[in-house]
Structure 1
Amino acid sequence: MQAVLSSLAALPPAFLIVAAGVVGLMVGSFLNVVIHRLPKMMEYDEANYIAEIRGEPLPHPERYNLMVPRSACPKCGHQIAPWENIPVISYLFLRGRCKACKTPIGIRYPLVELITAALSALAMWHFGPTAQALAAIVMTWSLVALFMIDADTQLLPDQITLPLLWLGLLLNLQGLFAPLADAVIGAAAGYLLLWSVYWLYKLVRGREGMGHGDFKLMAALGAWFGWQALPALILMSSVVGAVLGGAMLVFRRKSSDTTFPFGPYIVGAGLIVLFFGADVLPLTLVAGH
């Protein structure tokens, strides 16, 4: 690892930032697949498991994972050629439409690619050619996927949150972002804080206020940044969630019983702490007033 970092340090900073952005574009294209398919994979696996327990035929016997089957247009079934998967460029070349049936392709696909590229480049610019930069880039990729999946389905898959948690603890064996003791306490406290809020809300209101995936995501961020960052993470995610949730209730005429995913707000708070540190807490308190 040290040899790799030394080689990176010898390269011009501008080149490293651009290279991180290009890699981010390619990873963003793959994240679009993860965002679309991972929830379906979870649904199919659960349905197959239940059918197997009951001795019934499997409802989804076909292979379905991140690689199989090939990506295709949901409208006409046109299989996506490799050149049609070139990040951003293929979307512009196709003018945002399927090559075969001209059905519009959602703008979210190039946006995910561009956001992933921007965050990757920002991490390289912010941390420089260090192990922190490489770790931060991987973290931003995970958080982009979690943000979009939770916004779509109100799910935060264990397949992403748990590896993110363990990776944070492993990285902090060397104190990359926080001392190991602070990271371990942060993981436990992050989980228990939202777990306590969940049960308190359920006792008072008689229904669930958040999902268990939120506990695991907060635990993962605690493992990365240490327990000291938890007040900033919780306050920022709560303030943003309250403001945006209230706005949606007003402008979209939703009822007060409408459920909103909390994960995207935790993700936003995590990105702020990653790039600005937990010292943003005083600014958050001022904004809250």
Structure 2
Amino acid sequence: MTLFELLSHSPAALVGLVFIVGLLIGSFLNVVIYRLPKMMEQAWQQEARSMLALPEEPPATHFNLVAPRSACPHCGHQIRWYENIPVVSWLALRGKCSACGGKIAVRYPLVELATALISALAAWHFGYGPWLLAVLFACWALVALAMIDFDTTLLPDSITYPLLWVGLMAAWAGISPVSLQDAVMGAAAGYLALWSVYWAFKLLTGKEGMGYGDFKLLATLGAWLGWQLLPLVILLSSVVGAVVGGLLLATGGVKRDQGIPFGPYLAGAGLIALLWGQAIVDTYLGMMQF
């Protein structure tokens, strides 16, 4: 029996393998979450210097997603391969650098574990097939977008646009349960929905209530889910965002005039809708019939 036959006939093997792959992808996502905003900032600085006709200044070191090697932020110790095993190495090192004893943030193993659990849940829910590969890509991209927006209030186009096109191509190829027509309508409706809210809020208050990245992310979710599930995504993200935002204001976590990123709530609602959206809608409609 080949590996593909095993995965197609054994849900346990599929879930287990996807969990391990999810751990490895989660480790890579930690790199993306930390480095991509810095790479974007370097690109913006170079563009600004070019527009102002200033001489370009090459970066002090070659910096991208693969170079330089990961290192301790406290002492610069380069992380060895056996110190970079997802979750396991952090536990073995007790959350400290092996060279200087500086603390390693617990968010790194949490991102790895969350990515693995979400991936395994998707494998258990959808089973073996091409749609699972597409959904895994969506899950990983949404985790990265949520964390980057949480840290920087940025939703990089370099992640959002590929995710949008994969959703549309999956619908075009017949892999997605969403038709191409519904996917295109979902992308358009998702963008226009938040664009309308943005301008209504700006006209009423003179302030910007959200960024254009939020429009693009909801458009992307519309391409994956279809226009029919967009109300559910908006409702889930708004309710959770209002609750969390209220708690942060009440506890002093943020100031009243401080912006709160909406991307993590959109991404979380999108993941829920991707896995259980239709079941949630069907359950609600069934309850409304009584």
With normalisation by structure 1, the TM-score equals 0.93
The equivalences for 1:43-192 within 5 A come to 43-53=41-51, 54-58=53-57, 60=59, 62-173=61-172, 174=174, 176-192=176-192
Q: Which amino acid is the alignment partner of residue 243 of structure 1?
A: V
C-alpha distance in structure 1 between counterparts of 2:260 and 2:148, whole Å = 13
Deviations 1:173-219 (A, max 9, x none): 11513011000000011011111111111111111111111111101
Could you tell me whether the CA contact under 8 Å between 1:186 and 1:222 is conserved in 2?
A: yes
Could you tell me whether the CA contact under 8 Å between 2:7 and 2:13 is conserved in 1?
A: no
Deviations 1:200-253 (A, max 9, x none): 111111111111111111011000010001110111111111111111111126
Taking a change above 3 Å as real, the CA distance of residues 283 and 201 of structure 1, as seen in their structure-2 partners, is farther
Residue aligned with 1:149, SS: helix
Q: Which moved more, 1:196-205 or 1:56-65?
A: 56-65
C-alpha distance in structure 2 between counterparts of 1:282 and 1:128, whole Å = 21
Partner of 2:37: 39
Partner of 1:233: 233
Does residue 13 in structure 1 map to residue 11 in structure 2?
A: yes
Which 5+ residue runs of structure 2 have no aligned equivalent? none
C-alpha distance in structure 2 between counterparts of 1:177 and 1:242, whole Å = 31
C-alpha distance in structure 1 between counterparts of 2:206 and 2:131, whole Å = 43
Greater than 6 Å deviation, 4+ residue runs:
282-286
Q: How many residue pairs align between the two structures?
A: 283
Query: What is the CA distance between 1:57 and its match in structure 2?
Result: 3.7
C-alpha distance in structure 2 between counterparts of 1:83 and 1:4, whole Å = 27
Partner of 1:264: 264
Deviations 1:109-144 (A, max 9, x none): 000000010011101100111222221111111111
Could you tell me whether the CA contact under 8 Å between 2:130 and 2:175 is conserved in 1?
A: no
Query: What is the CA distance between 1:255 and its match in structure 2?
Result: 3.3
Could you tell me whether the CA contact under 8 Å between 1:237 and 1:265 is conserved in 2?
A: yes
With normalisation by structure 2, the TM-score equals 0.92
Query: What is the CA distance between 1:282 and its match in structure 2?
Result: 7.8
Which 5+ residue runs of structure 1 have no aligned equivalent? none
Deviations 1:19-78 (A, max 9, x none): 000000000000000000000000011112212333234263532110111111111111
C-alpha distance in structure 1 between counterparts of 2:216 and 2:256, whole Å = 26
C-alpha distance in structure 1 between counterparts of 2:61 and 2:262, whole Å = 33
Query: What is the CA distance between 1:4 and its match in structure 2?
Result: 9.0
Partner of 1:248: 248
Partner of 2:24: 26
C-alpha distance in structure 2 between counterparts of 1:254 and 1:200, whole Å = 24
Partner of 2:209: 209
Identity of aligned residues (%): 55
Could you tell me whether the CA contact under 8 Å between 1:124 and 1:134 is conserved in 2?
A: no
Could you tell me whether the CA contact under 8 Å between 1:156 and 1:213 is conserved in 2?
A: yes
Compute the RMSD of aligned alpha carbons. 2.0
C-alpha distance in structure 2 between counterparts of 1:189 and 1:271, whole Å = 18
